[in-house]
Amino acid sequence: MPDPANATAFDPVIIVYTRAQAIEDGFLVDVSETAREAGFKIPVAVTRSVWNRLIALPDGYRGFQDERGRLWDLLWMAHYYAVRASNSGRVRMCVLVRDIRKDLRDSNRPPRRHFPIVAIGAGDRGEPVITIMWPEDD
């Protein structure tokens, strides 16, 4: 019979997937170094889907944008939203990003609005970390 003193509201843990594993697997991209330059004081990662949609450029693209600049813009806006947020652990942000066409030309259309989330949570050792993600990435 189980000991009631050790009972929890949760079933036994079957598997643990750590933030470090998610970074190693490529599900998360660690952008902490650039994030520190943008004002963050804790580790920051973006989900692969945020990276692919808002930061990555097609292979062979030689236009006026680069991934480092796009990352900087995203992190700058994330920091802007994070410091103005209430005591919530999540804040929805709005960023404008110019889509690059598959034929590698800059689009003449205006930048599109995107609404990722800046979420603060616990890292693998309970330390505060930030993840920039889509609502469906949670």
How do the pLDDT tens digits run along the chain, 138 residues long? 555 555 566 778 788 899 999 999 999 999 999 999 999 999 999 999 999 999 998 777 767 788 999 999 999 999 999 988 777 889 999 999 887 766 556 656 678 899 999 999 999 999 999 999 999 987
- The reported pLDDT for the residue numbered 129 is 97
pLDDT for res 12: 80
In a domain, 5, yes or no: no
Report yes or no on 95 lying in a domain.
Answer: yes
Q: Note down the domain range covering 37.
A: 29-137
pLDDT score, position 70 = 93
| 8 in a structural domain | no
- The tally of domains found in the chain comes to 1
Question: Which pTM was predicted?
Answer: 0.84
The pLDDT score that the predictor gives to residue 110 is 79
- Is the residue at 23 inside a domain? no
Radius of gyration, CA atoms only, the chain: 18
With respect to residue 9, please indicate whether it lies within any of the assigned structural domains: no
Residue 6: per-residue pLDDT:
57
Residue that has been written with the tokens 């689009």 in this structure:
107
